[in-house]
Structure 1
Amino acid sequence: MSLMEHLRELRTRLFRACIAILVGTIVAWFIAEPVLNFIQQPYCDLMASKAIQQSANHALPDGYKCPFVQLGVTDVLVLKLKLSLWLGLILAGPIWLYQLWAFIAPGLHRHERRWAYLFGGLAGPLFAAGAYLSFVVVSEGLIFLLNMTGPDISTTLEITRYVDFVTGMMLVFGLAFEFPLGVMLANIAGIVTGRKLLGWWRFAVFTTFVFAAIATPTADPFGMTALALALSALYFAAVGFALFNDRRRGRNRPTYANLDDDEISSLDDYVPEPVGAATSVGGYDPIDAPTSVDAPTPVERPRSLDSRYDDIT
């Protein structure tokens, strides 16, 4: 295909992907409300338990509502649109991922396609596991953070900032869980071996804790520790895959690994062939005997300086 044909194909693939995302967003609009209630659930449960503790009869007051506030007129509408877009990307994922794969796959070899299937099959579950862990971290982190407020402080969160906080945590944790795929890719490409990765485990664990401390938006140690431990476990899983892949491919083994130290090369099957007289091969006569070289001429005696240079030179 020419360059223009590739660009036309890319335009067609992008158009189909955009149509799929648009349809998915429209469908997601009708389920955005239950998803929003699910995201609000950790905060609402915590505030409900506080309201029960503060009430005289240890029950929820009549007409109790989850204490969220809306600062802008269109905040909830914009929030539902954002959730619909995120859900639309998830619902239309098989279609736009297929369009992306159909554009890239013709340029890959067969073994590269097999690895792409493996990475594609692992990327989705890893991201989902990271998002679920972030939701657990948010639930525990809210308990830690909101319980630090005194009884004279009234806590009311703004709905947009809270949802952005939760979805941001899910995005950070989900992308962080893709880290072992990068380690596996480096090993498959031959950039690093499993032994080197295993030797770097102290640095890797330290880096995961530093990354978790920076990436986790909450100040509680629970979220940082949970993310760091999960990433460390995934790193060791990737190291195990790298060691298995190196053993399967025969890396870290010299060419003489299967030979004994005192084993010599075998010459029993070697039978020397006698060299016969030259014959005509392919219609060409044998090479003639070399002719003698003429004797060298004697070197002339050097002339004096007076004869080689004039008055000027």
Structure 2
Amino acid sequence: MSDTSMTLIDHLEELRKVIIRIVIAVLVGTVVSFALFEDVLFIIINAPIAGKDIQLAQLAVTEVFITRLKISLLSGFIITIPFTAWQIWSFILPALYAHERKYVYMIAPMSAILFAAGVVFGYYVVLPLALLFFIGQGADLLPMLSFARYVAFVLGFLLPFGLVFQLPLAVVFLVKIGAADYKFFKAKRKYAIFIIFIISAVLTPADVVSQLLMAGPVILLYEISILIAWLIRKKVKEEDEETDVIS
């Protein structure tokens, strides 16, 4: 067997170990979340619907238990994201150059912060507005929602915000490695906005209001990303000029 084959097998073996460690971590996180279900449920339910006179109903015998399992699994995945990211990057890092590793070390913690910021923004700002709008369509009807469907709506609404808040990091990474600059993102603005609306339609519930509530902040993030790209380019240009003067 050739050295190349052995190297490939070694990589596959290491990948297998990484996947096993991630799965075990998620399972442990799921068990912890299941045990702390009441606290997790309080976060999901109470703040968004507080003061809106909404009643949650159990419409099926297994509804609460199945939903508890789903929430615990998702929570287990979320709380182990730092460990999962560390495992993935530890597998990828050896293949990167020194300057690329530096960017990864900067981007990895910022990614977790932006994900949390996106979820918090959706939770406290967008979700209450969405609930107020949709439930308000019932006029004088008393809102009585299925527990499982309400939880699915909340989670399906919030998680995409954590993902789309990664946009500035993606832009910074592309600019740093020289794959694009602010002029590229500025020139492609209309295409980006079109893609943002498509992604918003896929990630949010099937209604125009939810899509607009997501697309609006993401478009703002895109504009901020262009500004960040311009600042990075300006800084690099100034550093190059200083190097030329010194030389």
Which position in structure 2 is the counterpart of 1:194? 182
Tell me the distance in 2 between the aligned counterparts of 1:5 and 1:203. Answer: 42
Larger helix proportion of the pair: 2
2:37 to 27, 32, 50: 32
Which position in structure 2 is the counterpart of 1:247? 234
1:237 to 224, 235, 241: 224
Contact 2:33 2:40 in 1 (8 A): no
Which position in structure 1 is the counterpart of 2:171? 183
Moved more, 73-82 or 84-93: 84-93
Q: Give the root-mean-square deviation of aligned CA atoms.
A: 2.9
TM-score, scaled relative to structure 1: 0.66
Higher RCO structure (Cα 8 Å, ≥6 apart): 2
Which position in structure 2 is the counterpart of 1:283? none
Tell me the distance in 1 between the aligned counterparts of 2:64 and 2:225. Answer: 42
Tell me the distance in 2 between the aligned counterparts of 1:216 and 1:22. Answer: 27
Contact 1:145 1:220 in 2 (8 A): no
Question: How many residues were matched structurally?
Answer: 235
2:103 to 103, 115, 118: 115
Q: CA deviation at 1:228?
A: 3.2
Which position in structure 2 is the counterpart of 1:146? 135
TM-score, scaled relative to structure 2: 0.81
Alignment of 1:205-284 (within 5 A): 205=193, 208=196, 211-212=199-200, 215-217=203-205, 219=207, 221=209, 223-250=210-237
Q: Where does the alignment leave 5 or more consecutive residues of structure 2 unmatched? A: 1-5
Q: CA deviation at 1:219?
A: 4.4
Letter in 2 for 1:46: K
Please list the CA deviations of residues 57-87 of structure 1 after superposition, one character each: whole Å capped at 9, or x if unmatched.
xxxxxxxxx6222222211111111111122
Letter in 2 for 1:104: I
Which position in structure 1 is the counterpart of 2:116? 128
2:52 is paired with a residue whose SS is helix
Q: Where does the alignment leave 5 or more consecutive residues of structure 1 unmatched? A: 48-65, 259-313
Which position in structure 2 is the counterpart of 1:84? 72
Which position in structure 1 is the counterpart of 2:3? none
1:46 is paired with a residue whose SS is coil
Which position in structure 1 is the counterpart of 2:14? 9
Q: CA deviation at 1:110?
A: 0.8
Contact 2:82 2:112 in 1 (8 A): no
Q: Structure 1 residues 182 and 95 mapped into 2: Cα distance closer, same or farther (>3 Å)?
A: closer
Q: CA deviation at 1:203?
A: 5.1
Contact 2:156 2:203 in 1 (8 A): no
Q: CA deviation at 1:120?
A: 1.1
Identity level (%): 33
Please list the CA deviations of residues 184-209 of structure 1 after superposition, one character each: whole Å capped at 9, or x if unmatched.
33323433321232344455456545
Tell me the distance in 2 between the aligned counterparts of 1:29 and 1:12. Answer: 26
Alignment of 1:93-108 (within 5 A): 93-108=81-96
Tell me the distance in 1 between the aligned counterparts of 2:180 and 2:229. Answer: 9
